[in-house]
Amino acid sequence: MKSIKAKLIIGILLILSIFLCGIFTYSLTFKNYFQKEKLGEMEYVILEVEDNISNIYDIDVIVNKIAEKSNVQIDVTDINSGGVICSTHKNSRSNMMGNGMGMGGQNKLQTLEVLGTVNGIEREIIHDKASGVNFLTATKNNVEAGYTITVKIPINIMDDAVTKSLKLLMIIFLPITLIILVITMIFANMFIRPIIDIRKKTSKIRDLDFDGKLDIKGKDEITDLANCVNSLSDKIENTLIELNSKNLILQDLIEKERENEVIRREFVSSVSHELKSPIAVISGYSQALKEGIITSKEDVEYYISVIDEEADRMQVIVNDLLDLYKLESNTFRLEIKEVEIGNLVQKIIRKNLLRFEELNINVESNIENILVMADDIRLEQAVQNYINNALSHVDLEKCIKIDVIKRDRKVRISVYNSGEAIDDRNIEKIWQGFVRLDKVRNYKEKRVGLGLAIVKQIMKLHHGNCGVNNKDNGVEFWIELDIIT
């Protein structure tokens, strides 16, 4: 593939070749053209001489005047004797008279070429042996007047004119040609360099390399093209970045969807497992009572109490499921109002005092009364779930701490229980619901129910935060809300 620069050079050389061919053609045709022009002028001189000759006595003055004006040689000879009547050439008269009225002189003239006769005027190229000069001649015989008019011009004058004109053309043409070449190369480089830069840039774009911008100054189409390439590069780069970003988001969504599918399956399995145990107990105990296997009053009362406990357990699970469903639905709305968080937590502690005493739990608290905007019912549910979780997992030290502390522009409510730490790799799992604690906190046959999952959804609706921290000899669960300022 030829470059634009090569094409421009070829075009310039082609133009120069045309010029050279023109000069060569001119050199071949100009001499003939010049000869025809001179013959026309010579014919006009003959006619002028004829028109101005009134008598033979003033012929010299007239002929010399015309010859000087026209820059030609004129001979007027007797048509019968051939003798010279008048001649503008200084040697013609003496030569003619010295040779018997021109007879001998005719022997010194040699016809080289007959060009033909036009309007009674003979055209010839002759050679003067005496001077060694070739002449272009035009001769007319005026029979009535008895004389012959011959107009001559040396051929070398025409050759010199042709040579000089060619030299002049070359003198003019060569510098102009060089100037044109230099200017053309300069403009070619100015024109081609931006195109080369644009080609390199587009090649980089093809290879998805968007570094660097085209810096082409000007107000022409090439500058517009460069700006378009820059804009195209930016747009492609931004599009690729956006596509990569969306691809990552899509991959995350796909991965989360896979995780959610696993979670859903585990959730269904866990719910089934949670419900299966109380159902089995209720079914077995009720069947025993129905068939009369149990007869003693004490055993009957015990079986009935177990059935009631398992029914209550099932009721708690179902209620938690309903609460979680409501909180996760897009239609659930909180009843937001001003809440004195310290008073709310104190009320929750008082409600649980009996449980604390029954389990011999040592409860410590540090509570500040801080005003927040919240749904007090759902906020109480979240704190109660933390307390339930702490009661389920407190160790033999039986220590629970409940704090309400201001942190910058937020309030943190935390519930600490002494016990084993949670594996850092599994901290996120405990918020999913029905997670086996033997996987997470190494307790055998214990589970985290829906309580923590409900807390997470409640805080999400409040635009708050929740989390868990492993502490010395225990675990702290916390929630944070914005303070009213």
Domain borders along the chain are 4-161, 213-328, 333-482
Class in CATH terms, 333-482:
alpha beta
Banded model confidence at residue 312, pLDDT cuts 50, 70, 90? confident
pLDDT of amino acid 478? 96
pLDDT of amino acid 437? 47
State mean pLDDT over 320-336. Answer: 75
pLDDT of amino acid 101? 36
Q: Which of 58-72, 190-204, 465-479 has the highest mean pLDDT?
A: 465-479
Is 96's pLDDT higher than 60?
no
Condensed to tens digits (0 to 9), the pLDDT of residues 331-355 reads 778 889 999 999 999 999 999 999 8
Is 206's pLDDT higher than 60?
yes
Torsion of CA 66, 69, 71, 77, to 10 degrees: 10
What percentage of the chain has pLDDT greater than the value 90? Answer: 19
Q: Which of 25-29, 208-212, 287-291 has the lowest mean pLDDT?
A: 25-29
State mean pLDDT over 301-317. Answer: 80
User: Cα–Cα distance between 60 and 451 in angstroms, integer?
Assistant: 145
Q: Would the CATH topology of 213-328 be identical to that of 333-482?
A: no
Buried b / exposed e over 1-39, threshold 16 CB at 10 Å, is eeeebeebbeebeeeeeeeeeeeeeeeeebbeebbeebb
Is 438's pLDDT higher than 50?
no
CATH label, 213-328, candidates 1.10.287.130, 2.160.10.10, 3.30.420.40, 1.10.287.110: 1.10.287.130
Q: Which of 125-134, 242-251, 406-415 has the lowest mean pLDDT?
A: 125-134
Is 274's pLDDT higher than 70?
no
CATH label, 4-161, candidates 1.10.3470, 3.30.70, 1.20.58, 3.30.450: 3.30.450
**CB count in 10 Å sphere of residue 146:** 13
pLDDT of amino acid 49? 82
Is 44's pLDDT higher than 80?
yes
What percentage of the chain has pLDDT greater than the value 70? Answer: 86
Is 363's pLDDT higher than 90?
yes
Is 447 or 268 the better-scoring residue by pLDDT?
A: 268
Is 360's pLDDT higher than 90?
yes
Torsion of CA 214, 216, 222, 224, to 10 degrees: 70
In 47-168 the beta strands, taken as DSSP E runs, fall at: 73-78, 84-87, 109-118, 121-128, 133-142, 147-154
Report whether 446 contacts 437 (CB < 8 A). yes
Task: Calculate the average pLDDT of the chain.
Answer: 80
Is 56's pLDDT higher than 70?
no
Is 218 or 84 the better-scoring residue by pLDDT?
A: 84
In 143-216 the beta strands, taken as DSSP E runs, fall at: 147-154
User: CA 352, 353, 354 angle in degrees (round to 5)?
Assistant: 90
State mean pLDDT over 137-159. Answer: 83
State mean pLDDT over 127-139. Answer: 84
**How many angstroms separate the Cα of 243 from the Cα of each of 12, 205, 233, 238?**
49, 17, 15, 8
Is 402 or 309 the better-scoring residue by pLDDT?
A: 402
pLDDT of amino acid 62? 81
Is 90's pLDDT higher than 70?
no
State mean pLDDT over 191-217. Answer: 77
pLDDT of amino acid 99? 38
The strand pair at 399-407 and 362-367 is best described as: parallel
Is 210's pLDDT higher than 70?
yes
Is 60 or 253 the better-scoring residue by pLDDT?
A: 253
**How many angstroms separate the Cα of 348 from the Cα of each of 309, 339, 451?**
23, 14, 16
Banded model confidence at residue 269, pLDDT cuts 50, 70, 90? low
pLDDT of amino acid 107? 55
pLDDT of amino acid 380? 92
Report whether 121 contacts 139 (CB < 8 A). yes
pLDDT of amino acid 91? 46
Is 319's pLDDT higher than 90?
no
pLDDT of amino acid 434? 65
